[in-house]
Amino acid sequence: MSQDDAAAAAYQDAIKNRTPRYFHASGDNAHGQTGYKDTEAFAENLMVLQECALLLGEKLEMTAVSHAFLYDGAETAGFKYDQTSNPAQPRVVGAIQNRRVPMKEFSEGLDGQMGT
């Protein structure tokens, strides 16, 4: 099975079972197990959420963002900074799930992916 086929199978499996698709990002790169297109969708979510968090944080004088989650239709998406990573080059763990899961549960899922 090629890498693309494996990624497509992993994506289909996650969609079918409505389980989270996890991603990691550091520097300018994002990595995922569910294919390029899905990783690109995560990267876009990450950029938008980060921008929104910084915009609001600026107004509230809170600059250090720790997480950002959203519900978009029937989907839950978001990211969390890995607090154990090097502050000079922070790592981010994120996910997209095609189900509205409680945000606390979503956050705990991301915690489980830290350092993996």
Chain contacts with other proteins (rule: CB under 8 A): 48-49, 52-53, 55-57, 59-60, 62-73, 78, 80, 102-104, 107
Q: Which is nearer to other proteins, 7 or 45 (CB)?
A: 45
Among 80, 81, 84, CA closest to 103: 80
| Rounded least distance, CB 114 to other proteins, Å | 14
| Rounded least distance, CB 85 to other proteins, Å | 15
Packing angle between helix 3-17 and helix 36-60, nearest 10 degrees?
60
| Rounded least distance, CB 14 to other proteins, Å | 20
Length of the chain, please? 116
Provide the terminal-to-terminal Cα distance of the chain, rounded to the nearest Å: 24
Q: Which residues pair with 22 in a beta bridge?
A: 95
Q: Which is nearer to other proteins, 98 or 107 (CB)?
A: 107
